[in-house]
Every structure is written in C-alpha cells, then in structure tokens.
A and B are shown apart, each in its own frame.
Chain A
Amino acid sequence: MHTPSDSIACLAAVHHSYGKVRALAGVDFELRRGEVLALLGPNGAGKTTMVSLLLGLLRPDTGQVTVFGRDPRELAVRRRIGAMLQISGIAPNLTVAEQIDLFRSYYPNPATVGQLVAAADLADLMHRRAKALSGGQLQRLHFALSLAGNPELLFLDEPTAGLDVESRRRLWARVRELSESGRTVLLTTHHLEEADALADRIVVIDRGRVIAEGTPAELEAEVSGRRIRCVTRLQPDAIRALDSVRLVERRGASTEIFAIEVENVLRHLLTQDPELHGLEVGGVGLEQAFLTLTGRDDNTATPN
C-alpha cells in the first residue's frame, strides 16, 4: 500500500462518454511519484481519454480528476507537466529551433535548448520547418516540446507510434534517463514490449475499465501456462463457444487457443475431434497475457 503523499495524479470513480459512446466506465487510477507507469490497452480502450482528463483537456462526466492534488486545468499544474499527445499538431511553417524557443517561453524554468536537442536528437534538424519533417522526426520534436518546461510529470501518449526500431529504442533510453532523474512518467501504449521494457507498473484497461494492474512480472504470473496449439478440423467459432476460451486464432494449419481452464477445453476438443493432433500446451509471455486479459485479437499487439 502506498501512502497518499506518493500519489501524484489520480482518477476516482471517473465516468466519461462521448455522446452515446462510453469511453470510461468507473475508473479508479493512481499515479505515484517517481514511477514510470504504462497504460496498456488496445485501441479504443480509453487510454487517450484518461490522458486527456489528466491533462485537463476533458472534464469527467462524474468522478474526480486531480493532478498534484489540484484541478488539472490550473496554470500551476500546467507549469509542472509536459505532454506528448497522440492527436496534436504544430505550426507547419516554424523551424524546429523556433518551435523549441516558442515552447520554452511558456515556462518559468524551461529546460535548456541543449538539453532538449540532445534528448530528442534534433541537432541536425534545427533549421528544418515542421512541415518538412518525417513522421518520426516530428515525433521527436513533440518529445522535445513535451520536455520544454522541465516537467516533474510527463505524459507520453503513444510516444513511439511511427518511429523505427532504432529511434524507438533511443527514446526508451531517454525515458529511462528521465525516470532516473526523478520524474514521473505516464506512458500509454499498445506495445506490450514497450510497457515491459519501460514500466515500473502496468495498468491494463479495456472497454473503459481497469482490468488488471501490477508489475510486468505480476501480470505475467497471473496468466501463465494457458496456451493450446493443435491441428483440428473444428471451426474457430465452435471453439470460441466453449467456456473460458478467450481467443482462437488460425496459424497456418494449426489453431492457437488461449483459455483460462485448459483442462476442460482439452477435454471438449478431444471429444469432438478424434482426429485432433499436433497438440501442444504451454505457458504464455506477457504478450499473451495482455491478449488474454483484453480478450482481443489485436494484430498490432503481436510482435513481428
């Protein structure tokens, strides 16, 4: 259990809807000082909504949102946070150097230009206008801008979307450095690998609810050993109809099945398809745990 003074931001019983579409349905959430927390969930799970609430861009329908114990819309809060938004733009005609200068002017104690350039590896791009940057370069610029105010708390909403592997790993290194220097980071991702690599703690959300929470190891333990692989003539739909089956996927000739109670499932499969063969039963990595928990076949969550 953490003491309240560790809490740097929290959502309490937050509901939020966009018209008739429910985005968050009773979320309780806490971000602790100094941690790197990954909000993990498939697209549409409610991650961006949570970030938007914490940034004061949205107001909750019901429930409470506080950052540093205050309303996130307060100026005092904004001076202490930085954010890299998934949906955001930037003046297309200003150069990288100009954007950095502009954003630094917003904060009372900004990071130096040198720190920002180094953090986002922008030294070669300083005189390039934003509209001439590639997707990855633009992401790095946004990362630099999120650090312009020397923030205590950093929000990174899908920070590595569109980055190549090399850039991604470099950004991970930067986030670790930020964490080591005592900053708190809230990261949203649907890359399990990213959450695994960076997060002290992972909060899994799906369909507007928190469905699991813990360190990467705790989550892995919760869902281990529950994968069945076999070659069967049974249709995936029929298998899905069975109790406790979370996911059915055809992979070439074989079928992969993820289930909570493997024994019951095996019993059914063998009864209904006597010709079933090539049977393997094994544990799953965090990757599988995530899929299992969210119950989705989300290809983007599958590492290549």
Chain B
Amino acid sequence: MTTPTANEPLATPTKPPASKRLATVLGLGVFLLLTITVMLLPTPAHQVDATPDGFAIVGARVFDGERTWERADVLVTQNRIEAIAESLELPTHIETVDGAGKTLLPGLVDAHVHTWGTARADAARFGVTTLLDQFTAPEAVQAARADREAGGATDRADLFSAGVLATVDGGHGTQFGVPVDTLEGPDDAVDWVAARKAEGSDWIKIVVEPGWGRQLATLDPATVRAVIDAAHQQELLAVVHVSRLEDALAVVEMGADGLVHVWRDRVPDAAQVKMFRDAGIFVIPTLVVMEGMVDPAPSVALAAGSLGKRLSGTQRDGLARRFPESARVDWQVVVESVRLLAAAGVPILAGSDAPNPSTAMGLSLHRELALLTTAGLTPQAALAAATSVPATQFKVPHRGRIVAGAMADLVLVDGDPTTDISASHRLAKIWKAGHLVDSAPGKTEPLDTNVAAAPEETLLADFDIGLRSHFGYGWVPTTDQRMGGKSTVDLTEREGALHIAGEIRTGAMFPWAGAMVFPGDNPMSPVDFSSRKELSFRARGDGRQFSAMIFSGKAQGIPASQSFTPGDDWSTIVLPLESFGGANPGMLRGIAFSAVDPPGVFWLEIDDIEIK
C-alpha cells in the first residue's frame, strides 16, 4: 500500500465543482427571471397603450378631492380618468396638456341648486360639473338622468336631484309654480316617498320652515319624522331645509342625514355643536345666498372680474335681482355657526342655492368657496367641500375625485387654489366627461326638425288689427299665478297699441306680470329666427323697469331676459337677440313683456313689435 504524500502531483481536478457554477448562475438567474417576468406580466385591459384616444394633463399640481399632489400626471381616455400618478409613461400618440404652474381639480360639485332652463350648461362654464338639486320639477330630473348615465360628451353639468320637496299645502316650496304633491300627515309619508322614488328622486328633501318675518304653514314634527323614516326604509337620504337652530336640533334628533342651509337665528353652544357632530349629520351652509340678503356687492364684484365673460344675460339678471326687504339674516350668527360646525368636524358641503336673487349658477359656487374659508375652512378643505365631501355624503359615484375610473370631470386653473382659494376663479380649462367645455355663454343649440321656418314678415304685431298678432298664435296675459304668485295683469288694445296694466304682489319667488306672444302656430311651438338680429318695439310706461323675455331652446325653462325702462313718451327700443344670453333664436317659442319686482301697480304700453 502506497501512501500519497502531500507533495505528490494529483489527478484530482482543482477547479471548483460544477455545482457551484450552476448554483451561481441559477441563483442569480431566478431573481433576474422574476424581475423580467414581473415586467412582462399582463396588466388590465385599460392599459394605457391599448386605448384608442385620450389626453393627459401633465405636470400640474393636482388636488384629487382629498389631498394635493405637488406634481402629477392625469390620463383621460374617453369619459373616464384612466390613471393618476406622480409620473406616467405616456404613449406618444396621446395628446398632452401642459399643467405647469396650474392646478387640476375635480369638477366642482354644487350641493344646493335649483335647476331651471340652462342651469346645467351655465354651471359647467364655471367648472361646476355636478349639480345636487334640492328641488325641481320631476321632468327635469328624468331628462337629466339619461344624460348622466350615458356619460357622453356634453357641455352640461350632471344633475342629481331631490325632485319635488316635502312640504304642506301653502308651505315653503309651493310658491314657485311647480306642482307640489303636499303631505297632510304622517300617514302620507311612505306613499309620498315611494312616489318620489318612482319619479327618480335621488334623495328626499323636507322643508321645515315656519316662516321668516311672516308666518308660513309647515310640516308638523310627526310628519317630518315619518318622512325621514320612510326615506331611510326606502334607502334614500333625507335632507332638511331649516332656518332656525331649534328646528335643526329637532331634525338631527329625528335622524336626518343633512341640512341644506345653516340656521340663521342663533349661534349654537358647545353641547349643541357636539350633538351635530355626534349625529354625523352634514351641513350645506349656502353662505353665498345669505350674503346676498345682506350685501350682494361681493358677488357683483366677482361678476365684474374674469369670470364675468362666462355669464349669460339671464345669469346677470339673476345676479341683479334682490331679495325682498323681509329677507333678513344675521350674518355674524351664520358665519360663526359654520365656523363652530367645521371646527367640530361636521362635514361641510359647498352649495350656492342658485338661481336665487343675487346668485348666478356656477359663479356663486366660487363665491361660496371663498366664504367657507372666511368661516375657518382651509382652502383645501373648502375645495374638498365642493368635490369629494358632497360626492361621499350624497353617495354620488365617480364624481368629486381624481382617481382612476372616475368620470373625467376636471377643472384646470392657473395658480394654486389649495393655498389661495381665489385662484379657483382663474379657470383655464374645464372638461366634462372628458369633453372640453366651451366657456362662451349663449352657444346655440342644434335645431329641432319640427322647428317652423320664420315668416317673411318681420312685423309681429302693431295692434291695428286688435290684440291679434300678424303671425303665430298671438297674445296672452302671463303672471306668476302660474307659479303660485298673486300678481295680476290685464291686457287691452288702446289707441292701436297694447296696454298692459296690473299689480306685482309678493308671494312668488320671482314675481312677474305681463303680456306674452307666441310666434309659432301653437303656444311655445318653436320658430327659427336664427337669421334675425334684433327685437325692436316702441314702448312707454310708468317709469319702472320692465323685462323683455325670450323663451327658446329645447327645454321650456327660465327665459332669457333683457331689461328696459321706457319713459312716459313713446320711444323705440332695439334689443339685439345676441344680448339675450342663453336664448336660442333658432328655436324661439315666445316673447314676454312684463313687470317684475318690486311689488306695486304698474302700466306699460307697447307697439310695432318686430323681429328683424
């Protein structure tokens, strides 16, 4: 047996075993393979490079409804937000909007409006892309519902609504001319709520308004409680109009979900504030409409600024209207109450109550944002109050936030409204469902096929043939009695002119009385006057201001109006059709000449009415 020595040359290999090299390769290889695989694994179908078209807002500061991204990219495809990230890798064919120096906000939500006429388009021009209506006619709700569900390209805000409100016969809410199904007692509650649900109401609004300055009939507590309970049973929110702290506390105890105004009589004490907080109730203060009762100047000033060019004539008229003297509010009480609620953590929602006097749809929400900051909300909290908070509280899906999958309702403003709320006025671009909204008012709407052609003749009426018109259906008296008012009017032919005499009486929210002429063969049937430029007539009157109103367009809503003040002697008045903001001469349905506020007797004579 030979024993090898340490120095003996060896046949054994001295290079490392093969297994070590294999382990090194496989060891690193698996981590590499995992990395590669993860980079190649399939992502959801809404993957960015798979989308046909879209655009991205790149490099803007983004307030997503809850928090602020100092810089982010937001990708929109069709009507939805596809993605938001600090930085997105975008396919080259995607159109980009440079957001540098700008702030992107979710489309704003106005949590308290009343929707008439062109309200939805008016709101959208101001970046308010969702309206939470607290009382309108059910037909308006049904028409808007189809639009909001389709989510198509539109210049109009989406509408969610309470529909008809819960009140008593003769109570607040019955004065506006919309037929209201009133309640007599608690036993009506279940059927009443079911009827609203069937009409398409998204929630239930209840009025508790014993009157402000004068007595008004209102629902008794048992009925209010029954309606709240019925709403909850039928899985609807119940929000309440109150104007007194004691009523607010009472409905909180009954389980109401929200208040659509802050009260205006007293500042609550700490225990009462705690009650609101603990109940989880939300409050839509509607500071702007209350400010209008004491000092409309700030809203007027806002209209004089850069936002003004977005106002239609009708909106300007609304802004110029004033509440009656009887409408009073203790501004300090209102602001202090909101400050205490906000500080306690009660959810505050921005709402304007437009189109009440001294307000304008859309514009007034920007004033409301500023007022909320004076009541102690940070600019960012005020923005949340007009975006994510109402979306959450009213359970409105896909609105009020910039997140993947949400509706592409977006507002791009210059500057930084998260630190300076007035930057919300500096609207750069507005998208509704991914569609760029036109900022100019009075955009004409497409023609109906059944619009009658305009007659050759330009003279509509000269009263040389009595009260008849030269074409169309002719003249009728029109008053606010149609809307529950008490104004009166009488039309007579006097010396070849139309003599309009009557009295404006309080009772309607927007009182009026006058004469209306229908140029079509039937009342309100549309006639295409798009080739005509102006409305001219001769007039004389008692010195008060009158309104010429044009009813036009697809929907039968609030007319576009222009004011005129004739003297005792005859004069010719020429009003360009263009000056009737929001009116559509291509679908002209009626023209009215009427007296409006203030109350009192009046007379007006008109003659030689031409559409030229």
Contacts and interface: CB of A to CB of B under 8 A. Distances in A.
> Do A and B touch, yes or no (CB under 8 Å, in the complex)?
yes
Contact of A114 (B3, B9, B19): B9
B12 interface: yes
A118 interface: yes
B93 interface: no
Interface string B14-45: 10110110000000000000000000000000
B3 A98 contact: no
B4 interface: yes
A117 B10 CA distance: 8
A117 B12 contact: yes
A113 B12 contact: yes
B17 A95 contact: yes
Nearest to A123: B12
Contacts of A174: 3
A196 interface: no
Interface string B289-323: 00000000000000000000000000000000000
Interface string A87-101: 000000001011001
B6 A119 contact: yes
Contacts of A121: 3-4
B3 A173 contact: yes
A101 B10 contact: no
B8 interface: yes
A126 B12 contact: yes
A60 B22 CA distance: 44
B1 A166 contact: yes
Contacts of B8: 114, 118
B450 interface: no
Contacts of A173: 3
A118 B17 contact: no
B326 interface: no
B20 A114 contact: no
A121 B17 CA distance: 18
B594 to A, nearest CB: 101
A118 B19 contact: no
B11 interface: yes
A119 B4 CA distance: 7
Contact of A97 (B3, B9, B11, B17): B17
Interface residues of A, number: 20
Nearest to A122: B12
A177 interface: yes
Contact of A170 (B3, B13, B17): B3
Nearest to A115: B6
A21 B14 CA distance: 47
A52 interface: no
Contacts of B3: 121, 170, 173-174
B14 A113 contact: yes
A115 B5 CA distance: 8
B400 to A, nearest CB: 62
A113 to B, nearest CB: 5
A112 interface: yes
A177 B6 CA distance: 8
Contacts of A112: 14
A114 B13 CA distance: 8
Given A118-B4, A118-B5, A173-B3, A98 B17 contact: yes
Nearest to A120: B4
A101 B18 CA distance: 11
Interface in A74-131: 95, 97-98, 101, 112-115, 117-119, 121, 123, 126
A129 to B, nearest CB: 11
A114 B8 CA distance: 8
Given A98-B20, A101-B20, A177 B5 contact: yes
Given A121-B4, A173-B3, A114 B14 contact: yes
Contacts of B20: 98, 101
A118 B16 contact: no
Contacts of A113: 10, 12-14
Interface string A173-207: 11001000100000000000000000000000000
Contacts of B6: 115, 118-119, 177, 181
A166 B1 CA distance: 9
B441 to A, nearest CB: 82
Among A112, A114, A173, A181, which residue has the most Cβ atoms of chain B within 10 A?
A114
Contacts of A101: 16-17, 20
Nearest to B6: A115
Nearest to A95: B17
B1 A118 contact: no
Nearest to A99: B17
A123 B3 CA distance: 12
A277 to B, nearest CB: 47
A118 B13 CA distance: 12
A166 B8 CA distance: 20
A119 B8 CA distance: 10
Contacts of B16: 101
Contacts of A126: 12-13
A114 B17 contact: no
Contacts of A177: 5-6
A59 B315 CA distance: 94
Interface in B225-283: none
Among A118, A119, A123, A166, which residue has the most Cβ atoms of chain B within 10 A?
A118
Interface in A240-260: none
Contacts of A118: 4-6, 8, 10
Contacts of A95: 17, 19
Nearest to A102: B20
Contacts of B12: 97, 113-114, 117, 123, 126
B10 A123 contact: yes
A113 B10 CA distance: 9
B586 to A, nearest CB: 89
A123 B5 contact: no
B576 to A, nearest CB: 95
B490 to A, nearest CB: 111
A114 B10 contact: yes
A101 B16 CA distance: 7
Contacts of A170: 1, 3
Nearest to B16: A101
B23 to A, nearest CB: 10
Contacts of A119: 6
A112 to B, nearest CB: 7
B355 to A, nearest CB: 84
Contacts of A123: 10-12
A98 B11 contact: no
Interface string A52-64: 0000000000000
A117 B19 CA distance: 19
A69 to B, nearest CB: 28
Contacts of B10: 113-114, 117-118, 123
Among B13, B16, B17, which residue has the most Cβ atoms of chain A within 10 A?
B17
A167 B9 CA distance: 21
Nearest to B20: A101
Interface string B518-552: 00000000000000000000000000000000000
Contacts of B19: 95, 98
Interface in B162-192: none
11 contacts: A95-B17, A98-B19, A113-B10, A113-B12, A113-B13, A117-B12, A118-B4, A118-B5, A118-B8, A121-B4, A126-B12
Pairs of residues from A and B, 5 with the lowest C-beta to C-beta distance, nearest first: A114-B10, A118-B4, A113-B14, A117-B12, A97-B17
Interface of B: 1, 3-6, 8-14, 16-17, 19-20
Given A97-B12, A115-B6, 14 more contacts: A95-B17, A98-B19, A101-B16, A101-B17, A101-B20, A113-B10, A114-B10, A123-B10, A123-B11, A126-B12, A166-B1, A170-B1, A177-B6, A181-B6
Interface of A: 95, 97-98, 101, 112-115, 117-119, 121, 123, 126, 166, 170, 173-174, 177, 181
